[in-house]
Amino acid sequence: MQSPSAPASVSLLSSFTHTRFFLSLVHLLHRSIEESPTTMTACSRVFDLPELLHLIISDLTHEAHSLCQILRINGAFFLCGIEYLWREVPVHNFQRISSSRRQLYANAIRDIHTTIKVGDHHEMFTGLSFPRLRGVDVVYAYSSNDKSRRPAEADANIEEHILVFLQPSIERFSFLGPPQSPIINLLRRIEMSYCCLISLM
């Protein structure tokens, strides 16, 4: 009698083998182009077909390490791959990116999560746009015991932060913050049908 765990094991092995096959194929194609840059074979034309790049990369979305390897192959794989690797990210990931490259990554983001604290500075978002952004989750971590800044100043800072994410493409906006915050009224005035407001009591 076959063990109940066998199908899962076979599936896992198949997935692993499939992933390794794709990685080996991609590296082989890239090496052939480097060795014969003047010869464009039928195989090497895979780099000119976005559909095939997406097919290869989408198979690796469950393996972040393998996906990162793919992104390092060349520019075509990088531009295609960041759409998957940066589709959903926490805001602090931007702190690791140089200012000259942040827009490149912002173009790929569809869901973003951020916790805003009193006194935070958000210059890293200056001038950025998020054309593919669909969902935003904001947590306002202001404490009534925090005397470092007046609430009005804190709200002005956070309002500026939030407005960065109010793109025309937005379908969902979740805000978690104190009920007395003027930010709540700001979001209500905008009349966003997709906005979910959750007050901290």
- Please check the confidence at residue 6 and state whether its pLDDT lies above 50: no
**pTM greater than 0.85 (yes/no):** no
Q: What is the pLDDT of residues 19-64, one digit of tens each?
A: 555 555 555 555 555 555 554 555 556 566 777 777 777 776 666 6
Mean predicted confidence (pLDDT) in 151-174: 74
Among 26-30, 73-77, 141-145, top mean pLDDT goes to 73-77
Q: What is the pLDDT of residues 78-117, one digit of tens each?
A: 877 788 778 878 877 887 888 888 999 899 899 988 887 7
Contact, 53 vs 76, CB < 8 A?
yes
The DSSP result for the chain, as a single string, is ---TTHHHHHHHHHHHHHHHHHHHHHHHHHHHHHH-TT---TTGGGGG-HHHHHHHHHTTTT-HHHHHHHHTT-HHHHHHHHHHHTSEEEGGGGGGS-GGGHHHHHTT-SEEEEEE-TT---GGGTT---TT--EEEEEE---TT--SS-HHHHHHHHHHHHHHT--TT--EEEEEE-TT-HHHHHHHHHT-TTEEEEE--
Among 11-15, 30-34, 131-135, top mean pLDDT goes to 131-135
Mean predicted confidence (pLDDT) in 132-160: 68
Mean predicted confidence (pLDDT) in 66-84: 76
Among 3-12, 69-78, 117-126, top mean pLDDT goes to 69-78
Distance, in Å, from the CA atom of 154 to the CA atom of 142, rounded to the nearest integer, reads 8
Confidence band, pLDDT 50/70/90 cuts, at residue 1: very low
Taking the domains of the chain in order of start, what are their residue ranges?
A: 6-85, 89-199
Distance, in Å, from the CA atom of 88 to the CA atom of 134, rounded to the nearest integer, reads 10
Q: What is the pLDDT of residues 88-99, one digit of tens each?
A: 788 778 878 888
For residue 84, the Cα-to-chain-centroid distance in whole angstroms is 7
Strand ranges across the sheet with 111-116: 88-90, 111-116, 135-140, 172-177, 195-199
Distance, in Å, from the CA atom of 160 to the CA atom of 186, rounded to the nearest integer, reads 11
Mean predicted confidence (pLDDT) in 132-147: 75
Q: What is the pLDDT of residue 165?
A: 84
Distance, in Å, from the CA atom of 77 to the CA atom of 72, rounded to the nearest integer, reads 7
